[in-house]
């Protein structure tokens, strides 16, 4: 079975790497956080001292890092891994980054004779833990076909959006929608509570009405409505406000370059920006509820 190197063991990367171990792959891991590496090695991964060591013998390299700058530094930086990766290896970047960054790294990989796909994911930390992620892939069909078995060990839906970078573009559109839906859901719940409705009763009503959506039904932002979501644990874990802000910034860049209008996406970006500036950047993005009903949640 292929030897996998997994770089980036945060809220998403750790459960994804764990599913690969559980599927029987030999997995070597690296993260800047020693604690994150320690947890995975306790679960059966091989711990590496740095990214170059982790990837030198790998058949498949998977990265799950915060943003474009981290991905470009990992593959192309001074200590970058691209020169040391073995011939014939397959590179899969699951981070959500700018499409032009994905294309830049994939072109450099291609110049070295290595196939690379962008495979950002949807489904959140619960989907990562359950192995039910959706992969949104950009790259050529042959590289995607080689990736299918390993993606199937971490997710259940695999879409081919187009060439390198297209996976990122589709993911950015999805997350702009998610950011808008979460802010809208929080606003509706705050309005109901301000008018003496129980947020759980209101959520039940909207879940069976035309306002139903993923944020309301699976990731409810109002504390006390659902268990096992970030709102039930002080908005810890999950998908950080600053990561949502990054994705809405990517949407704004995509809109500028295509002269597209995204009025709601821009409004959402400004709401998350205000929320981040108020000190909530590291909280889960559903904490936007605090901005919209500050005295209640
Ligand atoms: P996170 O901040 O929890 O984890 C990122 C990890 O990368 C951290 O453990 C950090 O130490 C590590 N890291 C940073 N630079 C590194 C480097 N140079 N070498 C090794 N490790 C390094 O982020 P996350 O929530 O896991 O998200 C990762 C990516 O997935 C982001 O692009 C995010 O937008 C995307 N995403 C997140 C979610 C979610 O629900 N959290 C869902 C879908 C997509």
| pLDDT tens digits for range 69-125 | 999 999 999 999 999 999 999 999 999 999 999 999 999 999 999 999 999 999 999
- List 104, 156, 171, 246, catalytic entry: 171
Distance 264 CA to ligand 1 centre (A): 26
> What is the pLDDT at residue 293?
83
Q: Does residue 138 sit in helix, strand or coil?
A: strand
pLDDT class of 38 with cuts at 50, 70, 90: very high
Report d(CA 185, CA 213) in Å as an integer. Answer: 8
Average pLDDT over residues 195-211: 97
**CB 70 less than 6 A from any atom of ligand 1:** yes
Burial tier of 223 (Cβ tally within 10 Å: 0-12, 13-18, 19+) = buried
Spatial distance between the Cα atoms of 241 and 274, rounded to a whole number of angstroms: 10
Residue nearest atom 37 in ligand 1 by C-alpha distance? 239
CB of 155 closer than 6 A to ligand 1? no
CATH class of 3-163: alpha beta
- Distance (Å, rounded) from C-alpha 165 to C-alpha 71? 13
Give the 3-state secondary structure of residue 134. strand
pLDDT tens digits, one per residue of 235-277: 999 999 999 999 999 999 999 999 999 999 999 999 999 999 9
Active-site residue flag, 104: no
Is 3-163's fold the same as 169-292's? no
**CATH level 3 topology of 169-292:** 1.10.1040
pLDDT of 179-196, one tens digit each? 999 999 999 999 999 999
Region 31-42 average pLDDT: 98
Provide mean pLDDT across the span 10-31. 98
Q: What is the pLDDT of residue 296?
A: 64
Question: Per-residue pLDDT for 1 more than 80?
Answer: no
- CA atoms in the 13 A half-sphere facing the CB of 141: 0
Instruction: Give the distance (Å) from ligand 1 centre to CA of residue 7.
Output: 10
Domain residues of the chain, as ranges? 3-163, 169-292
Give residue 294's pLDDT.
65
CA atoms within 13 A on the CB side of 140: 9
Give the DSSP per-residue string, 77-125.
Answer: STT-SGGGSPTT-EEEE-S---HHHHHHHHHHHHHTT-EEEE--EESHH
Q: Residue 9 C-alpha to ligand 1 middle, in angstroms?
A: 7
**28 ligand 1 Cβ < 6 A:** no
Q: What would the pLDDT profile of 213-239 be if each residue is shown by its tens digit?
A: 999 999 999 999 999 999 999 999 999
In the DSSP assignment, the letter for residue 238 is S
Q: How many angstroms is it from 8 CA to the middle of ligand 1?
A: 6
Say what percent of the chain tops pLDDT 90. 98
Exposed e or buried b per residue across 87-102, where buried means at least 16 C-beta atoms within 10 angstroms of its C-beta: eebbbbbbbbbbbebb
Q: Which of 44, 141, 147, 160 is nearest to 91 (CA)?
A: 147
Cβ of residue 32 lying under 6 Å from some atom of ligand 1? yes
DSSP annotation of 6 reads: E
């Amino acid at each position: 079975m292929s030897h996998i190197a997994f770089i980036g063991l945060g809220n998403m990367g750790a459960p994804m790497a764990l599913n690969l171990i559980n599927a029987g792959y030999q997995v070597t891991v690296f993260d800047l956080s020693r604690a994150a590496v320690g947890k995975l090695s306790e679960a059966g991964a091989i711990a590496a001292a740095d990214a170059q060591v982790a990837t030198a013998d790998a058949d498949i390299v998977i990265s799950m890092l915060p943003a474009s700058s981290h991905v470009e530094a990992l593959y192309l930086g001074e200590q970058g891994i691209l020169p040391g990766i073995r011939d014939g290896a397959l590179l899969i970047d699951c981070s959500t980054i700018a499409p032009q960054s994905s294309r830049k790294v994939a072109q450099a990989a291609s110049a070295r004779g290595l196939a690379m796909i962008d495979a950002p994911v949807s489904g959140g930390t619960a989907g990562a833990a359950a192995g039910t992620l959706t992969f949104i892939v950009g790259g050529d069909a042959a590289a995607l076909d080689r990736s299918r078995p390993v993606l199937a060990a971490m997710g259940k839906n695999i879409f081919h959006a187009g060439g390198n970078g297209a996976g990122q573009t589709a993911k950015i559109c999805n997350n702009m929608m998610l950011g808008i839906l979460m802010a809208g859901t929080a606003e509706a719940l705050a309005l109901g509570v301000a008018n003496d409705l129980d947020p759980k009763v209101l959520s039940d009503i909207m879940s069976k009405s035309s306002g139903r959506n993923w944020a309301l039904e699976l990731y409810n932002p109002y504390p006390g409505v659902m268990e096992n979501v970030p709102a039930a644990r002080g908005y810890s874990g999950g998908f950080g406000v600053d990561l949502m802000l990054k994705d809405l910034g990517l949407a704004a860049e995509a809109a500028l370059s295509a002269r597209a209008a995204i009025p709601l996406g821009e409004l959402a970006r400004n709401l998350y920006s205000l929320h981040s500036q108020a000190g909530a950047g590291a909280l889960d993005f559903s904490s936007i509820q605090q901005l919209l009903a500050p005295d209640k949640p």
